[in-house]
Amino acid sequence: MPRIAALIPLLLLSLALSPQPQRSSSPHTSTGNAAQSPPSPDTSSSNSEAISRIQRSVEDLIAGDPQLSSADIQATVDDYNITLTGTVESYAQHHRVLVLVQQYARWRKIVDNLKTK
């Protein structure tokens, strides 16, 4: 118990010294932070570069897999989805493609438009 009692003043001191959020004097006054500015051109270009890099990686991964040599698959990537279109020979290939692409999906949804012959 004495250890805890010694820590309480330190905790109170750290709370007192921590930066506090600024509050406006009137509840109807805006601080200007509510509206977000549009992304800068540098951000959008780096985002499109990242998307094209992911798309190339997914296509290279599929093309380099010997189990998928007979498959005809195209992948398109955007901010929220990885869309797979084309045809595969079997359900095993279909499953294999989905497992491979999952490595790059992260938060993106995989839209499965693949057809099985």
- Each residue's pLDDT tens digit, 27-66: 444 444 444 444 445 556 778 898 999 899 999 999 999 9
The separation between the first and the last C-alpha atoms of the chain, rounded to the nearest angstrom, is 72
* Residue in the block written with tokens 């498959």: 71
The phi, psi pair for 99, rounded to 5°, reads -65, -45
> Rounded to an integer, what distance in angstroms lies between the CA atom of residue 48 and that of residue 62?
21
pTM of the model: 0.59
Of the chain, the percentage scoring pLDDT greater than 90 comes to 45
The better pLDDT of the pair 62, 4 is held by 62
| Residue 112 confidence (pLDDT) | 97
- Using pLDDT thresholds of 50, 70 and 90, give the confidence band for residue 11: low
Q: Is the pLDDT of residue 1 over 80?
A: no
* Residue in the block written with tokens 């959020």: 21
